[in-house]
């Protein structure tokens, strides 16, 4: 009996040693991949917003418009070589904006390059602005609106006014997200009738236009 017990114990011990020294493959735990939800970035940039601008303006009046001073009939076109323009507007989207402009001469009108008349030019207008982006930084635009142009003779205290349709065309170059530079041409007065000292009168044509070079800032 003792021999049998010893034999069984020996077999068990030998089996344990064999198992301990044998090649036992480790248990491989399955890898679980947890999908990571990608965040979708939503752009907060909008083209809408307020803007303001300041510009140099060169004013022009067509020859024989009816306000040439005595003795200068037949002179070349009248010009205001120094004038300024301020502008404020609201851009609704990439293609449309509303803006107001005020233009004022800063020197006397010239005929044939001679500073011989003290005529002041002012214009106030509001425009619908239609824009067409050509590239990321270049935009062409057209202006159409209503305004009032005033040419005032300081010496004789005469005032000529014309109000009605005004239009313009131009282009802007974006320097950065806030600053842009622009150049445009605006036709300020095209009326066959005008008011002289608040009294209607007939004249051939009040044809006034400006060329504007400026810088704008978008808030």
Domain ranges of the chain: 49-218
Ranges of residues in the chain whose predicted pLDDT is under 50: 17-18, 40-44, 65-67, 69-74, 202, 204
Contact 171, 184 (CB under 8 A): yes
Please report, for residues 67, 141, 200, the alpha-carbon distance to residue 168 in angstroms, rounded to integers and kept in the order given: 24, 8, 27
Q: What is the pLDDT of residue 108?
A: 81
CA gap 140, 130 in Å, rounded: 9
Q: What is the pLDDT of residue 209?
A: 92
pTM metric for this prediction: 0.70
Q: What is the pLDDT of residue 55?
A: 97
Which ranges of 111-189 would DSSP assign to H, the alpha helix?
none
Q: What is the pLDDT of residue 72?
A: 47
CA gap 200, 82 in Å, rounded: 29
Query: How many helices (DSSP H) and strands (DSSP E) are in the chain?
Result: 1, 10
Q: Are strands 158-174 and 78-93 parallel, antiparallel or unpaired?
A: unpaired
Q: What is the pLDDT of residue 43?
A: 42
Q: What is the pLDDT of residue 159?
A: 81
Fold of 49-218: Porin (2.40.160)
């Amino acid at each position: 009996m003792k021999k049998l017990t010893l034999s069984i114990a020996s077999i068990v011990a030998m089996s344990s040693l064999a198992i301990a020294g044998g090649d036992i493959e480790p248990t491989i735990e399955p890898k679980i991949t947890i999908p990571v939800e990608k965040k979708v970035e939503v752009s907060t940039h909008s083209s809408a917003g307020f803007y303001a601008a300041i510009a140099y303006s060169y004013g022009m009046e067509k020859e024989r418009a009816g306000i040439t001073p005595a003795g200068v009939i037949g002179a070349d076109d009248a010009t205001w070589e120094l004038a300024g323009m301020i502008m404020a507007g609201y851009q609704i989207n990439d293609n449309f904006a509303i803006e107001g402009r005020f233009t004022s001469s800063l020197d006397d009108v010239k005929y044939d390059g001679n500073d011989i008349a003290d005529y002041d030019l002012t214009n106030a207008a509001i425009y619908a602005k239609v824009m067409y982006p050509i590239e990321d930084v270049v935009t062409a635009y057209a202006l159409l609106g209503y305004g009032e142009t005033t040419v005032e003779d300081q010496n004789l205290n005469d005032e000529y006014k014309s109000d009605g349709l005004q239009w313009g065309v131009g282009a802007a170059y974006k320097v950065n997200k806030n600053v842009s530079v622009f150049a445009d041409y605006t036709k300020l007065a095209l009326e066959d009738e005008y008011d002289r000292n608040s009294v209607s009168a007939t004249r051939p044509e009040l044809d006034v236009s400006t060329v504007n070079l400026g810088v704008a800032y978008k808030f």
